[in-house]
Amino acid sequence: MIKSVLKTLFYIFLIVTVFVLNLYFSYLLPYPFENINLVIIFLIIMLSFYGTGSVVWLAFLAGILMDLYSELSFGVFTISLTISFLLVYWLYYEFFANKSIWALATMTLLEVVIFRIFYTILIIFSNTKIKATLFVYYGWEILLTTSLSFLLYFILEKTFTKFRLIK
């Protein structure tokens, strides 16, 4: 029981730390690198590592934190991030459970795409004006987030045996 509570608290601490790092990235890095989404990278790697549904609840918490630091209506990030991770979690079990680096890259790409689709629909519903240049940002986010997750997983795979391919 205590172990489970401590584990949960540790995960909450981790997601808050990654969220703060993400804010640092978006503030300090120049365009287009400010679009790297560390929260998604962290959660996708967690999903590949543990393969449990708790990642969806961590995504839910991350979504709430994002909503607290956004000027958009509360719920836009919570809904987009949680639902997109739920869908990716299901895809993981159906297609990507082999822990390969290509599966991880594909999951990251799908996650960012699904997340941004939900996000765009929600902001359109909340009467926010969008322009075509927003999709340039999405493009950079998809490219850089997928590339970084690929790179990080490659390093982790070389470092820790648990990440290695199940053959």
Residues that bind another protein (CB under 8 A): 16, 19-20, 22-24, 26-28, 30-31, 34-35, 53, 56, 60, 64-66, 68-72, 74-75, 77-79, 82-83, 86, 90, 123, 128-131, 133-134, 136-138, 141
C-alpha pair distances (Å), 10 with each of 5, 20, 78, 126: 9, 15, 21, 35
Chain centroid to CA 156: how far?
17
Nearer to another protein by Cβ, of 3 and 131: the residue is 131
- Whether cis (ω within 30° of 0) applies to the bond prior to 30 is no
The greatest distance separating any two alpha carbons of the chain, rounded to the nearest whole angstrom, comes to 51
Nearer to another protein by Cβ, of 138 and 150: the residue is 138
Nearer to another protein by Cβ, of 64 and 117: the residue is 64
Q: How far is the CB of 133 from another protein (least distance, A)?
A: 5
Nearer to another protein by Cβ, of 35 and 149: the residue is 35
Nearer to another protein by Cβ, of 20 and 155: the residue is 20
Residue pair 55/47 in contact by the 8 Å Cβ criterion: yes
Q: How far is the CB of 96 from another protein (least distance, A)?
A: 16
Q: How far is the CB of 117 from another protein (least distance, A)?
A: 14
Q: CA neighbours within 13 Å on the CB side: how many for 79?
A: 12
Residue 1 burial class via C-beta count within 10 angstroms: exposed 0-12, middle 13-18, buried 19 and up = exposed
Q: How far is the CB of 120 from another protein (least distance, A)?
A: 9
